[in-house]
Amino acid sequence: MTDRTIRVAIESWPLAQPFVIARGAKTEARVIVVTLSQGGVEGRGECVPYARYGETAEATAAAIEAAGAPASHGDLARLLPPGAARNALDCALFDLEAKLAGVPVAQLMKRPEPGARETCFTLSLDTPEAMAEAARQVPQLKLLKLKLGGAGDDERMRMVRAARPDARLVGDANEAWTVELLDPLLAVAAECRFETIEQPLPADDDGALGTRDRPLPICADESAHVASDITALVDRYDAVNIKLDKAGGLTEALAMADAARAAGLDIMAGSMVSTSLGVAPAMLVAQYARWVDLDGPLLLAKDREPGIVIHDGIIEPAQRGLWG
């Protein structure tokens, strides 16, 4: 398309409070927004480069600019590997195509139209007492995700459960547990009625998950990026967290969802800490998910307008002015 142009911008969105996981803390969401223009119509996509995968905002923006405005999703997959850069372009292309065709992205892809879902609300890694207090402060939110960090996680899980006996709980260790901690901490998670623990062991050292009984479902995150990774998960994991920034966009994320369902794995629809523009496309993945973790906009001091609506933990599909 000779008249298709591209703009790339790096943006910083302050968080309402520091976001802490086992690998570190952040006080802002640094995102990249891609705008594709054609015939006076604009499509947008957002991505979050992630240092865990060797990505920086500057390098990702440079990769997007080098790739240019793609003619198709197939061309895009040949130009860029899975990751944040491809995600922003893939989602911007879908948004542009939907606006040019005058139909929603779900209809273009012959997928179910997104509906409202309950999303997790994330409690940052902190002392057991602080995490329990954070859980008490959001009584209207019934699905909580605890960021875990290894030593002390038994008390974190027990104290949050005591503080919120009514809540559904999931945990995310972000690769921070060791093989020695695995069995005792999984036992506590089961005792505290956690529904899943996400990525307890490092991605390159998770073989131990396939050698023991698991008292609750274990969800892969860092161990799974694209659809071709799914087959190797079935002896170690019971579910997979599908994130557009890992997969390289909505195209591959939906392929992952199809592969996970065929393999008998549950799905978590996740995202990095982003604005509503980054979350909106993931709502198409959320329709296949047992757990939805798309609370990024709730963690911001201020979101993009129009933003995605999240009320009492229920996340609504994107408004037309936002995406899709």
Say whether both 150 and 243 belong to one domain: yes
Please report the pLDDT score of residue 257 as a whole number. Answer: 98
First to last CA, the chain: 20
Query: Is 145 annotated as catalytic?
Result: no
Query: Is 302 annotated as catalytic?
Result: no
**Is residue 297 predicted with pLDDT exceeding 70?**
yes
Total count of domains within the chain:
2
Q: Give the 3-state secondary structure of residue 235.
A: coil
Say whether both 263 and 144 belong to one domain: yes
Say whether both 243 and 199 belong to one domain: yes
Please report the pLDDT score of residue 22 as a whole number. Answer: 87
**Is residue 1 predicted with pLDDT exceeding 60?**
no
CATH of residue 124 = 3.20.20.120
Give the tens place of pLDDT for each residue, 180-230.
999 999 999 999 999 999 999 999 999 999 998 899 999 999 999 999 999
Q: Which residue has the tokens 């972000």?
A: 174
Residue 180 counted as domain residue? yes
Q: How far apart are CA 223 and CA 226, in angstroms?
A: 10
Q: Which residue has the tokens 């990505």?
A: 55
- Give me the domain span that covers residue 254: 117-315
Say whether both 172 and 292 belong to one domain: yes
169 contacts: CB under 8 Å, gap ≥ 6: 144, 145, 146, 157, 160, 161, 192, 193, 194, 195
Say whether both 45 and 95 belong to one domain: yes
Residue 163 counted as domain residue? yes
Say whether both 93 and 125 belong to one domain: no
Say whether both 126 and 212 belong to one domain: yes
Say whether both 22 and 132 belong to one domain: no
Residue 30 counted as domain residue? yes
Say whether both 187 and 295 belong to one domain: yes
* The one catalytic residue among 26, 99, 142, 243: 243
Give the tens place of pLDDT for each residue, 43-82.
999 999 999 999 999 999 999 999 999 999 999 999 999 9
Residue 165 counted as domain residue? yes
Say whether both 125 and 256 belong to one domain: yes
The stretch 234-254 carries a mean pLDDT of 98
- Please state, for a pLDDT cut of 70, what percent of the chain lies above it: 99
Residue 107 counted as domain residue? no
Say whether both 54 and 23 belong to one domain: yes
Residue 170 counted as domain residue? yes
Give the tens place of pLDDT for each residue, 81-129.
999 999 999 999 999 999 999 999 999 999 999 999 999 999 999 999 9
Q: Are 144 and 123 in contact (CB under 8 A)?
A: yes
pTM for the whole thing? 0.96
- Work out the number of other CB atoms within 10 angstroms of the CB of residue 288: 18
Residue 64 counted as domain residue? yes
* The one catalytic residue among 26, 142, 145, 147: 147
- The b-or-e profile of 16-48 (16+ CB within 10 A means b, else e) is eeebebbeeebeebbbbbbbbbbeeeebbbbbb
The stretch 287-314 carries a mean pLDDT of 96
What average pLDDT is seen over the chain? 96
